[in-house]
Structure 1
Amino acid sequence: MWEIARDSGVLDLNSSYAYVLWGAEFSESSVVVEVEGRVVGFVTGFIRPSEPDTIFVWQVGVDADQRGKGLAARLLHSLMDRLAERGVVRLRTTISPDNEASQRTFGAVARDRGMTLSDEDYLSSELLGEGHEQEDLYTIS
């Protein structure tokens, strides 16, 4: 997962430890896909403690060789299907304004599921610092 995040050019890169820990401690709310023993895509997320019916997606990463094939959307559908059994009915994530690929992916997932995608201002660039673009909060409900 760390290598995919590093090579993506758009994801905030966390330590390899963080990705290993995420896989171990948040496996119920995350998904990884492998091809021939190699991770080619992942979604990391967590159930919001204040909203147990909501999955917050932290990162979606797809290996360069797999991009443009709908893998990210399939991973999100898989995660939402699995979590629906636990009463999760809403997905939230943050997306920067220039990440049009993610905006399209989450829009497609909402349409496929007959749901609505909404967005609102969330984290300002001033708050995030270091030249980080603002992050808007997207909700599929």
Structure 2
Amino acid sequence: MQTQSDKTRSPQPILRKPRKTDGSAIWDLVRACKPLDENSMYCNLIQADHFRDTCVVAELDGEVVGWISGHMIPNEDAFFVWQVAVSPKARGLGLGRKMLTHLINRDECAEAETLKTTITEDNDASWALFRSFARNIGGDLSDEPHYHEEDHFGGQHDTEHMVTITLPAEDDLAKAA
């Protein structure tokens, strides 16, 4: 017998702009997605509130199961992805790529000619996600060391490589979605 709650469950996560009330759920999600760097709950609250137009949450059955924080880089035609988190409950759905595609198709990101992010050499999951995303949209991916372990992190964090993906024209982006 099917209950009312079974009827209302969504088989696919809903992608939407975050609300400031999502801050603590985003913080909990990031903390559950090791080895992601944790920010303060206040940082996630500010991202969800002040940067909501360039961030996305994925919600499944009322629970935040995905998060991407990002922003347009000042004085550049580039969208920067700060952090991607996908709950173990939502893995295997291609959710990371769907959220990235959702974001670059927003009006707020229409001026972006490239997507940029930083990834450490050993973060296989992130490399796989961004390579898959680049292939899916027909973009070229390049990388180079950017934030160095010694120069920028005082030896406390591995070197971050700046990954740059060229974004196709708007008409081609719509096809990739």
TM range (shorter): over 0.9
Amino acid at match of 2:35: V
Q: CA deviation at 1:131?
A: 3.0
CA RMSD between the two structures: 1.4
79, 83, 92: which one aligns with 2:116 = 92
5 Å matches for 1:28-107? 28-51=53-76, 53-83=77-107, 86-107=110-131
Tell me if the contact between 1:4 and 1:61 (Cα under 8 Å) persists in the aligned partners: yes
- Residue matched to 1:22: 47
* Aligned residue-pair number: 140
97, 115, 121: which one aligns with 2:139 = 115
Q: CA deviation at 1:99?
A: 0.5
Amino acid at match of 2:96: A
Larger Rg: 2
Distance change (3 Å), C-alpha of 1:89 and 1:83: farther
Is 1:5 the counterpart of 2:30? The answer is yes
Aligned with 2:156: secondary structure?
coil
Tell me if the contact between 1:29 and 1:83 (Cα under 8 Å) persists in the aligned partners: no
Name structure 2 gaps, 5 residues minimum.
Answer: 1-25, 167-177
Scaled by the length of structure 2, the TM-score of the pair is: 0.75
Deviates more, 1:22-31 or 1:121-130: 121-130
Runs of 4+ off more than 6 Å = none
Aligned with 1:19: secondary structure?
helix
Separation in 2, partners of 1:70, 1:83: 23
Amino acid at match of 2:95: L
Tell me if the contact between 2:53 and 2:108 (Cα under 8 Å) persists in the aligned partners: no
Structure with greater proportional strand content? 1
Separation in 2, partners of 1:23, 1:135: 24
Q: CA deviation at 1:82?
A: 1.4
